[in-house]
């Protein structure tokens, strides 16, 4: 009887040891996986924060609108955290395909519901990275012209020359041609002056050239151009193309136009009005009187 009890005790002892070894192996295996998952999460989160700091710093140095910086940072941070969580769960042996499917379905549903809104947000992201214009630039887009005053997530606000505000959806804005009038340091003024066919053409060119040469804000390089551009129906057209700093464009254009008009008057150079010469034959007049 004692032998049977001793045998059972040995059996239970062996079984307990086996269970203990199994538990130890399980704890060791999954403990290491858990530690690895936590490490992946913490290190990934730290890398994500450092990346966002560098991105925000670069965007701030580039003069990007603060709203766009905040929005893009939050979106990228959430996306990175989701990727890190999925990587940590995968390290634990969890099947992450279901999570990816859920995130994909949720993203698709949100995208369809907010299609137009997200299109404007996506356009804002394009404006951030490609920078076709920035705040305080003078642009022409969607048939309007103005100075960029604000760029937010969904629209861009322009202020026109007569101080009106125009709000353009970002999606509409990037879908068309954008003319940035202040994108370069120098800008050319294209001017056309008409003189009568009877006037002295060489004198007119000398007068225009003198005004451009003596104006302190007209650049010497690139050099201006004064040339006959066309022979119109009522006048000879002289093209003048001086180069100026972009910020001085309108002011100098007005000044040069006024100075050239005054110099034309001093030198008896006329600016002809559109006219039509009507020739009537006497025979036709007499025949018309007889018919009456």
In the chain, list all ranges with CATH 3.30.70.100.
186-266
- Quickly tell me which residue has 């093209």 as its tokens: 239
- Quickly tell me which residue has 């951030």 as its tokens: 128
In the chain, list all ranges with CATH 1.10.287.1260.
2-113
Q: What is the pLDDT along the chain (292 residues), one digit of tens a residue?
A: 545 445 544 554 555 555 555 555 655 656 667 777 788 888 888 888 888 888 888 777 766 666 667 767 777 888 888 888 878 777 776 666 666 666 666 666 655 555 566 778 778 778 877 888 888 899 999 889 999 998 877 889 999 989 999 999 988 888 888 999 998 999 999 999 999 999 999 999 999 999 999 999 999 999 999 999 999 888 999 999 999 999 999 999 999 999 999 999 999 998 887 766 666 666 655 566 566 6
Q: Which fold has domain 2-113?
A: Helix Hairpins (1.10.287)
In the chain, list all ranges with CATH 2.30.30.60.
133-180
CATH numeric code, 186-266 = 3.30.70.100
CA angle 133, 135, 138 (to 5 degrees): 65
d(CA 75, CA 124): 13
Looking at the DSSP assignment, which residues form a beta bridge with residue 178?
Answer: 141
Domain 133-180 has CATH 3.40.630.10: no
* CA nearest to 92, candidates 24, 45, 29, 44: 29
Please tell me the pTM assigned to this model.
0.60
d(CA 173, CA 139): 11
């Amino acid at each position: 009887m004692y032998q049977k009890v001793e045998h059972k005790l040995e059996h239970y002892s062996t079984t307990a040891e086996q269970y203990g070894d199994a538990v130890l192996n399980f704890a060791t295996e999954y403990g290491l996986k858990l530690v690895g998952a936590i490490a992946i999460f913490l290190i990934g989160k730290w890398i994500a924060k450092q990346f966002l700091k560098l991105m925000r710093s670069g965007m701030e140095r580039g003069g990007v609108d603060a709203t766009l910086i905040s929005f893009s940072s939050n979106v990228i941070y959430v996306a990175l955290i989701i990727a890190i969580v999925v990587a940590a769960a995968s390290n634990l042996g969890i099947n992450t395909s279901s999570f990816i499917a859920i995130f994909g379905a949720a993203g698709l549903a949100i995208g369809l519901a907010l299609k137009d809104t997200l299109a404007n947000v996506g356009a804002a992201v394009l404006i951030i990275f490609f920078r076709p214009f920035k705040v305080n630039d003078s642009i022409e887009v969607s048939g309007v012209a103005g100075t960029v005053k604000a760029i937010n997530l969904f629209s861009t606000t322009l202020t026109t020359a007569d101080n009106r505000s125009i709000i353009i959806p970002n999606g509409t804005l990037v879908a068309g041609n954008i003319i940035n009038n202040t994108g370069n340091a120098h800008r050319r003024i294209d001017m056309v002056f008409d003189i009568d066919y009877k006037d002295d053409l060489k004198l007119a060119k000398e007068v225009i050239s003198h005004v451009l040469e003596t104006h302190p804000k007209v650049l010497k390089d690139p050099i201006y151009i004064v040339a006959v551009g066309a022979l119109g129906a009522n006048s000879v057209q002289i093209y003048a193309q001086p180069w100026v700093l972009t910020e001085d464009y309108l002011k100098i254009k007005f000044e040069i136009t006024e100075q050239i008009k005054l110099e034309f008057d001093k030198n008896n150079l006329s600016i002809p009005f559109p006219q039509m010469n009507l020739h009537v034959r006497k025979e036709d007049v007499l025949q018309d009187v007889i018919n009456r």
